[in-house]
Amino acid sequence: MKLAPIENQWAEAALAAIFPGSSEEGLDGISAMNIAAYLGDVMGWVPFRAAMGLRVAIWLVALAPLFVLGRLTTIAGLVPAERERMMTILVASRSYAVRSLVLVLKSFGALLYASDARVRALMQGPPLRSVVPLRRKRIAAV
């Protein structure tokens, strides 16, 4: 199963809203990564049911502006701030199905985003230099 170009475009817009990057944290956004190639790989590997789940999630966020913001456009037609606002509403939706589908998209995005070497390095701090515990303290093992 493959995503259509328009579905990739929607997925990229949604994931960019979930992982926009942060200059304060020094984190690049997911847009700097090859999302389409990654999602193509995902769709080739995951079982049909999971692939369908991802596709439904993409369509949900794509068409959400109509229902959430009352705007006759897709997520790709929103400016970044509106996309983020809409995703914030969706992820906190009262509907379990809606927030679960957004979580599906966020999960696949997280597997790409946080696997990036630069993002990992910034999240985890500098590499550890030794195997010595960070703080030696007497611990009573029971």
Q: Which is nearer to another protein, 71 or 99 (CB)?
A: 99
Choice between 69 and 114, CB closer to another protein: 114
Considering the complex, what minimum distance in angstroms separates the CB of residue 14 from another protein? 9
- Give the span between the Cα atoms of 14 and 109, in whole angstroms: 9
Name residue 85's amino acid.
R
| Residues that bind another protein in the complex, under the rule CB under 8 A | 17-22, 24-27, 42, 44-50, 53, 84, 87-88, 91-92, 96, 99-100, 102-103, 106-107, 110-115, 119-120, 122-125, 127-137, 139-142
Least CB distance from residue 85 to another protein, whole Å? 8
Contact 53, 104 (CB under 8 A): yes
What is the smallest separation between the CB atom of 110 and another protein, expressed in angstroms? 4
Helix then strand then coil, in percent of the chain rounded to 5, is 65, 0, 35
CA 73 to chain centre: 21
The C-alpha R_g of the chain, in whole angstroms, comes to: 18
For residues 4 and 92, which CB has a smaller minimum distance to another protein in the complex? 92
Q: How far is the CB of 72 from another protein (least distance, A)?
A: 23
d(CA 61, CA 64): 5
